[in-house]
Structure 1
Amino acid sequence: MMLKRFFRKTAPVYQIISPFQALVKKLATSGFILFYTTAAAMLWANFHHDSYQHLWHLPLAVSLGDVSFSKSILHWIDEALMTLFFFVVGLEIKREILIGELSSMRRALLPVAGAVGGMLAPALIYAIITYNTDAAHGWGIPMATDIAFALAVLSLLSKRIPYGLKIFLSALAIADDIGAVLVIALFYTATIHWAYLGFAALLLVCLFVANLLWIRHTLVYALLGLGIWWAFLGAGIHATAAGVLVALFIPARGKYDTNTFVNEVRSFLVRFDCRNGDCGHTILLNQNHLNAVQAIELACHQTETPLQRLEHGLGAWISYLVVPLFALANAGVAVRTEGLTDTIRHPATMGVILALVIGKPVGITLFSLLASKALKAPLSGGMNWLHVIGAGMLGGIGFTMSIFISGLSFQSTELIDMTKIGIIIGSLLSAALGVGVLLTADFLHLGQSKTGTDGKSDVSV
């Protein structure tokens, strides 16, 4: 009896949160894990460089009969696990376009304009600094924003920032991801084997037909997606592009519409006929209750879309395992103190640092301002232009995608290591400057509140 009372009193109360709130919380947490794994990779590479290189370059083979794939652990992470990362990015892009911050032209104008400026300005600065050098091909490196790291930094400021800033930065980063994926597909693909590409196109048609036939089993899409990944590898196009393309074909509608779901659940809820207002401490005591709960669970499954199931099922694995593992395998750079000054002064390193620290905030702020003035796109959610400048600086945290593109840009390990050092330095400086600007915005807001002025008024730039 005491046990029954305990479980009644301690029954949890669950709070309903929006998909965006869940995404922000998950990404912010993964950002801290990413920071620690990056630090671990740097320490490992500098204190035991040989073991670090040896582990990630060990061959790992997958065989089925006479067919065998053998690649290094590093390649499996970059070409297989990161495909899952890009798949989840694609799911988030599709969700945002359908129902999120990119679903209407008016709401999307400012973050999309900021993303365009945040890609063009850094690429231009990098191209100017590395003009006519071996590092010139890496112009795509500083174009991307690491949303996990950026939101982790924002979470440190807690209630000092308006909620609209999180929405703006997240939408900007997602629009930024679209640009980064296009850059990888169009400019970082060497030779294309058209037979494999034709086979990939055929499988994409099969995905489209599966949508038309109202197929909602995720296994079908998983098998077709695996085939497309293999075809992209054979075609010479980086397989991560397959992840985004497959994600765009994942159905965003369930078998049941909302009205059908509500009617079914209501019909099952009437079976909970509890005497004296007490339904018991477990459904196992009443077979009718048990059957009703199972039927409601099935109705929920039929209503939930494949896009939701895959995003929820893979999201945690990507955020807490795949991306940190990518950082651990790729962020380790041996830094030699005697040549550090020359390394930083090298066009590849300096180009990345200046592109992230200067190009990102200038491009994001300038293009957002132009969109606001020319297209009448308003700032929302309590934001002012100082917040936009701070978001632009946080946009210079270009860790995961930037390191990924650096590996595609060069064959030389020396140039790859130099750009990685630039990415790490530029991202840390961007984070520090972004926090400083946002704290200043909060200080000015408090000052205006004390003097009786409107805290939501724009700060001139």
Structure 2
Amino acid sequence: MSQLTLIQRSPDPDHGHAGGGRPSIADRIRGLGQNRIGAILLLIATVVAIAWANISYGSYHGFWDMHLTIGVGDLHLDFTVHALVNDALMAIFFFTVGLEVRREFAIGELTTWSRAVTPVVAAILGLAIPALLYVLISSGSGSEHAWGIVISTDTAFLVGALALIGPRAPGRLRVFLLALAVVDDIGALSIIALVYTENFTPLPLVVAAVGLAAIYFTRYLRGGRGPVYGTLAVIVWLAFLASGVHPTLAGVAIALLVPVYRPDRRDVEHALELARTFRQSPNTEYARAAANSLRESISINERLQSAYAPYVAYVVLPLFALANAGVQIDGEILASAAVSAVTWGVIVGLVAGKLIGVFGSAAVMRLLKVGEFGPGLTLDRLLGGAALCGVGFTISLFIVDLAIEDEAVQNEARVGVLAASVLAFVLATVIFRISDAFRPDEEAGLALLRPVDPTRDHIFGPVDAPLTLVEYGDFQCGFCLKATGSVEEVRRELDGRFRYVWRHAPLTRFHPNALAAAEASEAAARQGKFFEFERSLFADQENQLPTHIIRRAHDLGLDVERFERDLTSFAVTARVRDDMLDAEAMDITAVPTFFVNGRRHVGPYDAQSLIRALYDTADVEVERGPGAR
């Protein structure tokens, strides 16, 4: 039986990716390897910073307070090493945050209100309630205005920790938390700009606005866009710096103007044709044409995310932690922090505030059936995810430096941030372990997690038939092709007593066009021809490139223009992704996988075995046909 590697606890970085150039769910999961390493490096940098500050406090601060001068003649910039990290390198971090925000609102989870409402509301209350708790607890301390410290979740730690301690099958929880983190980041960045900006000078922002407009129109250049983007980005950053608005926000502003789109399948195939031409006749011209075509088939946004992500995870954030987490921990400081309203405001705000805000709002929306909660996004997992949101490391430390001037109070706040992050991590770990220990059959893969829904599912046969067979499969899988014969024999034998349901579980590791085929079948389904397209795909498994898919649509009499538009729609992508996340939640590791009357089928899937299982597990008495044994 073919092995399915949709979701795996220990991602293999050597696996390829499918879907005509679009990152698949499997690719995002494999990306957790980078996130896990990044979180570990961040943790190591934090420990080193604390150790360094406690072993030699003078050398720690002396190093980061060293001045660097960059410039020519009368034009120069004077930075401390600490400012270089916080103002310049962190602009790259915020740039990648802006890229993710742009992508999610353009083609991601936040494009439809029904999917966005839950993480948006949870994020807003996850910003407001921690801030309120901090202000209440720190009242009278003189540092009430530093409430921004507790508003934001550290996305890098969040994703890395989820990979380390998350529940089995964390797919839907991860999607929810990443969407929440995007909104959370927007709130945090807005607050930094509006609340923690001092000495504001408006004129340089005019220069920044002109630079941003130029960045927007750079997309229309035919070539040489990289150097233009780079030059304009430096100008905009310098303008933000001169204006008094924190220069890291320049990274966000620039990222929001970077184009993002789903790859056009014909462009991808054209790139592949050029690559084949180069293989047949290798020369510099064909090599350049193939490389440019492959590059241009992917949006600049996604290319930049891929290019910068390793530097942010492995260099920028660890350096930031090294420069900002150096807190002296001795008896006097700990005694001061233990009675500090600021320290306790930070701890309660992050640990309790995030838990109450995120989980409370999500639980109420789930109870009221507002928004979409897919199978696997249960209350216990939401509780663990909400607890993990209390890890507010990076932006919390960042705002400590902006909001508090007194060094002693800064130390108290940093102790609070570090303590809250540890407490949130431990609390989330305990919740996830308890949650997994008491996982019901439906989420252990023994029962069908998502009931058959005639308004959603692709059903062949009477909708109200008493016998139901659900298959999770892959249009390029040879075993799934063989299974179609068994299913057809079952259908003929049981006639009107049987309904068959297909759900997607493409093996993107082995079948490079499997995800594209699944999405194409969903595009055909929007014109009422899912099963016709399915039969066409199974009839010719070797030819499922974009041109073959378009030809099939034409041969089946589909509106080809509408079909091509639907291929790039989020609704089609999300429909396939939802099936894949269901498969992950039920621990489906091989296809075809059958569910007989809602229970997982184990054993041979020849027609007679399936018929016997259908009769034996029926909820009501069903008259057996002459061929049933």
Q: Could you say which TM-score interval applies, normalised by the shorter chain? A: 0.7 to 0.9
Distance 1:389 1:321 in 2: 32
CA contact (8 A) 1:24 1:151 kept: yes
Task: Identify which range, 302-311 or 65-74, moves more after superposition.
Answer: 302-311
Are the structure 2 counterparts of residues 165 and 319 from structure 1 closer, same or farther at C-alpha, using a change threshold of 3 Å? same
Residue 128 of structure 2, aligned match among 117, 120, 145 = 120
CA contact (8 A) 1:161 1:442 kept: no
Are the structure 2 counterparts of residues 261 and 386 from structure 1 closer, same or farther at C-alpha, using a change threshold of 3 Å? closer
Alignment partner of 1:333: what SS? coil
AA in 2 matched with 1:119: L
Quote how far apart the aligned CAs of 1:412 are: 1.0
Residue 245 of structure 2, aligned match among 229, 234, 237 = 237
Quote how far apart the aligned CAs of 1:455 are: 7.3
Which residues of 2 match residues 28-43 of structure 1 at below 5 A? 28-43=36-51
Aligned residue in 2 for 1:164: 172
CA RMSD of aligned residues (A): 2.6
Aligned residue in 2 for 1:4: none
Matched, 1:221 2:223: no
CA contact (8 A) 1:161 1:438 kept: no
Task: Identify which range, 153-162 or 38-47, moves more after superposition.
Answer: 153-162
Are the structure 2 counterparts of residues 448 and 300 from structure 1 closer, same or farther at C-alpha, using a change threshold of 3 Å? closer
Matched, 1:55 2:63: yes
Aligned residue in 1 for 2:526: none
Matched, 1:202 2:196: no
Alignment partner of 2:380: what SS? helix
Quote how far apart the aligned CAs of 1:288 are: 4.4
Which residues of 2 match residues 340-355 of structure 1 at below 5 A? 340-355=334-349
Aligned residue in 1 for 2:456: none
Which residues of 2 match residues 266-277 of structure 1 at below 5 A? 266=273, 269=276, 271=277
Residue 302 of structure 2, aligned match among 308, 315, 318 = 308
Alignment partner of 2:68: what SS? strand
Per-residue deviation, residues 417-456 of structure 1 (Å, max 9, x unmatched): 1111000000100010011111111111158879x88878
CA contact (8 A) 2:333 2:412 kept: no
Are the structure 2 counterparts of residues 207 and 293 from structure 1 closer, same or farther at C-alpha, using a change threshold of 3 Å? closer
Distance 1:233 1:139 in 2: 24
Matched, 1:137 2:145: yes
Quote how far apart the aligned CAs of 1:136 are: 0.7
Distance 1:105 1:409 in 2: 34
Matched, 1:105 2:108: no
Distance 1:243 1:81 in 2: 10
Distance 2:138 2:202 in 1: 33
Task: Identify which range, 392-401 or 147-156, moves more after superposition.
Answer: 147-156
Alignment partner of 2:88: what SS? helix
Aligned residue in 2 for 1:385: 379
Distance 2:235 2:17 in 1: 40
Q: Which has the higher contact order (CA 8 A, sep 6+)?
A: 1
Are the structure 2 counterparts of residues 213 and 290 from structure 1 closer, same or farther at C-alpha, using a change threshold of 3 Å? closer
Residue 259 of structure 1, aligned match among 239, 259, 266 = 266
Quote how far apart the aligned CAs of 1:62 are: 0.7
TM-score calculated relative to the size of structure 2: 0.64
Matched, 1:317 2:332: no
AA in 2 matched with 1:221: Y
CA contact (8 A) 1:163 1:381 kept: no
Are the structure 2 counterparts of residues 105 and 245 from structure 1 closer, same or farther at C-alpha, using a change threshold of 3 Å? same
Are the structure 2 counterparts of residues 32 and 168 from structure 1 closer, same or farther at C-alpha, using a change threshold of 3 Å? same
CA contact (8 A) 1:361 1:395 kept: yes
Aligned residue in 1 for 2:475: none
Aligned residue in 2 for 1:90: 98
AA in 1 matched with 2:151: M
Task: Identify which range, 440-449 or 97-106, moves more after superposition.
Answer: 440-449
Per-residue deviation, residues 75-128 of structure 1 (Å, max 9, x unmatched): 111011101110111011111212222222122111111111111110000011
CA contact (8 A) 2:442 2:449 kept: yes
Aligned residue in 1 for 2:76: 68
Are the structure 2 counterparts of residues 337 and 189 from structure 1 closer, same or farther at C-alpha, using a change threshold of 3 Å? same
Quote how far apart the aligned CAs of 1:178 are: 0.7
Aligned residue in 2 for 1:433: 427
Per-residue deviation, residues 339-362 of structure 1 (Å, max 9, x unmatched): 413312201100000111100010
Matched, 1:14 2:16: yes
CA contact (8 A) 2:270 2:293 kept: no
CA contact (8 A) 1:160 1:439 kept: no
Structure 1 unpaired stretches of 5+: 1-11, 273-282
Distance 1:112 1:398 in 2: 18
CA contact (8 A) 1:252 1:306 kept: yes
Quote how far apart the aligned CAs of 1:216 are: 7.0
Matched, 1:410 2:412: no
Quote how far apart the aligned CAs of 1:365 are: 1.1
CA contact (8 A) 1:218 1:306 kept: no
Distance 1:302 1:208 in 2: 17
Alignment partner of 1:30: what SS? helix
Distance 1:264 1:360 in 2: 46
Alignment partner of 1:243: what SS? helix
CA contact (8 A) 2:167 2:432 kept: no
Q: Which has the higher helix share?
A: 1
Are the structure 2 counterparts of residues 253 and 174 from structure 1 closer, same or farther at C-alpha, using a change threshold of 3 Å? closer
CA contact (8 A) 2:104 2:111 kept: yes
CA contact (8 A) 2:167 2:381 kept: no
Alignment partner of 1:250: what SS? coil
Aligned residue in 1 for 2:352: 358
Quote how far apart the aligned CAs of 1:260 are: 3.6
Distance 1:449 1:21 in 2: 19
Aligned residue in 2 for 1:9: none
Per-residue deviation, residues 141-193 of structure 1 (Å, max 9, x unmatched): 01100112122222223662431111111211121111100010011112211
Are the structure 2 counterparts of residues 169 and 163 from structure 1 closer, same or farther at C-alpha, using a change threshold of 3 Å? same
**Structure with larger Rg:** 2
Aligned residue in 2 for 1:5: none
Quote how far apart the aligned CAs of 1:391 are: 0.6
Quote how far apart the aligned CAs of 1:312 are: 1.5
Per-residue deviation, residues 257-284 of structure 1 (Å, max 9, x unmatched): 5424424533653x58xxxxxxxxxx6x
Quote how far apart the aligned CAs of 1:37 are: 0.7
Distance 2:393 2:427 in 1: 16
AA in 1 matched with 2:269: V
Aligned residue in 2 for 1:299: 293
Quote how far apart the aligned CAs of 1:22 are: 5.0
Alignment partner of 1:429: what SS? helix
How many residue pairs get aligned? The number is 432
Alignment partner of 1:365: what SS? helix
Which residues of 2 match residues 156-195 of structure 1 at below 5 A? 156-157=164-165, 160-195=168-203
Distance 2:359 2:87 in 1: 34
Distance 1:379 1:430 in 2: 24
CA contact (8 A) 1:28 1:155 kept: yes
Residue 364 of structure 2, aligned match among 344, 359, 370 = 370
Are the structure 2 counterparts of residues 46 and 308 from structure 1 closer, same or farther at C-alpha, using a change threshold of 3 Å? same
Distance 2:332 2:411 in 1: 16
Alignment partner of 1:304: what SS? coil
AA in 1 matched with 2:428: G
Task: Identify which range, 89-98 or 17-26, moves more after superposition.
Answer: 17-26
